Amino acid sequence: MSKTILALTAAAIMAAISPITLNAQTRVDSGPNTMRPAAALQVRGMRADQYVKKSAMSDLFEIEASKLALQRTENPDVKAFAQRMVDDHTQSTQKLQGLLQSASIGATPPTALDRAHQRMLEQLQNASAKQFDRLYMQMQVKGHQAALKVQQGYSRHGDSDQLKSFASDARSMVQDHLNEARQILRGLDRHRAG
């Protein structure tokens, strides 16, 4: 896979899942930690409805991409990971929907992928058998990195106590998924290099 396609994929994932944009008063210092302050500041301004949209969209993409992976992959590690993504993100979606109903939070989760996530799913659908596992796992790593920032930030700075608690619980799930995705991707890279 070309570096250009990988860069575009990473950019699409980060644009689709990244926290809300910075306001005009936000200053980001230059230097090695440039991204860390920006990410923290971005989440501080996130409202409950924005958090619900980002969290639910992440779940929806994970479920759809992972269902496709279950159909396409022959790698047992990727297959087991994909099944875990379907199970865990389906459960997360159900928990969020129940919370929104019981707490009367005025936010509605999306029921269909937005354009950016739909394009990523199409990339997976169009990937060759040889490219699929690596592309899927790269998307999983990037997507879970972005989702982790959202969950961490909202659990600290959110405007709804009920959703902050949900984000705190989701944070540990997302971190576990990220760790596993990185491990599987490293294994795919070692196999490819060998």
CATH number at residue 148: 1.20.1260.10
Does any domain span residue 137?
A: yes
Does any domain span residue 17?
A: no
**Could you give the CA distance from residue 167 to residue 177 in angstroms, rounded to a whole number?**
15
Residue ranges of the chain whose pLDDT lies below 70 = 1-45, 193-194
pLDDT, one tens digit per residue, over 117-136 is 999 999 999 999 999 999 99
Q: Interior CA angle at 47 toward 46 and 53, to 5°? A: 90
Does any domain span residue 19?
A: no
Does any domain span residue 133?
A: yes
CB neighbour list of residue 185: distance below 8 Å, 6 or more residues apart: 134, 137, 138, 140, 141
Give the global pTM. Answer: 0.77
Does any domain span residue 183?
A: yes
pLDDT, one tens digit per residue, over 42-62 is 556 689 999 999 999 999 999
Does any domain span residue 67?
A: yes
Does any domain span residue 154?
A: yes
Does any domain span residue 109?
A: yes
**Could you give the CA distance from residue 70 to residue 74 in angstroms, rounded to a whole number?**
8
Average pLDDT, rounded, for the chain: 82
pLDDT for the residue 189? 86
Containing structural domain, residue 126: 48-193
CA proximity to 61, closest of 1, 119, 129, 15: 119
**Could you give the CA distance from residue 43 to residue 27 in angstroms, rounded to a whole number?**
14
Q: How many domains does the chain have?
A: 1
pLDDT for the residue 16? 44
**Is 16 in a helix, a strand, or coil?**
helix
With beta carbons less than 8 A apart as the criterion, state whether 189 and 138 touch. Answer: no
pLDDT for the residue 43? 56
